[in-house]
Amino acid sequence: MAQKFNEKAYLASIGAGIRALRKKKKMTLEVFGDVVGLDKSNAYRIEKGRNITLLTLEKIARVFNMSSSKLLDSAIEVKEEPKKAKPAAKKAVKPVAKKAAKPVAKKAAKPAAKKVAKKGKK
């Protein structure tokens, strides 16, 4: 069975490799973006694993004095989708014991019954 290629993980690994190279050269995102021809937000997006054009990849490789193929080879190769975690089993929740409701009608009936009884005695 053929393994699935995990595109997101592959792009993330390329971005992580670019970020590591940038930090090794002690470049800020702004300086890196200026050299490559990107604004800071696009440079950040590439490092976070967003899609990248071949021309931008080539420009980035030149900043680090390497070929674009070497830059791609330096990325961690991810060939298959990560296994999905099984949902955690729900813990058994003990039902909260409800206190028995005292009958309201009996309480209300008793005082009235006493009053009637007292009136009859007088």
4/79 Cα distance (integer angstroms)? 6
pTM tops 0.75? no
Structure tokens at 105: 């009608």
Determine the average pLDDT of the residues in 72-101: 58
Structural domains of the chain in order of their starting residue, each with its CATH number:
7-73 (1.10.260.40)
CA distances from 8 to 12, 40, 46, 68, 78 (A): 6, 21, 12, 19, 9
Q: In this predicted model, what pLDDT tens digit does every residue of 41-81 receive, in sequence order?
A: 999 999 999 988 999 999 999 999 999 998 888 766 544 44
49 or 108, greater pLDDT: 49
Confidence of residue 18 (pLDDT cuts 50, 70, 90): very high
Q: Which structure tokens are listed for 113?
A: 């019954």
Query: What CA–CA distance (Å, rounded) separates 59 from 114?
Result: 98
| Closest C-alpha among 4, 17, 27 to residue 69 | 17
What 3-state DSSP class applies to 1? coil
pLDDT at 78: 46
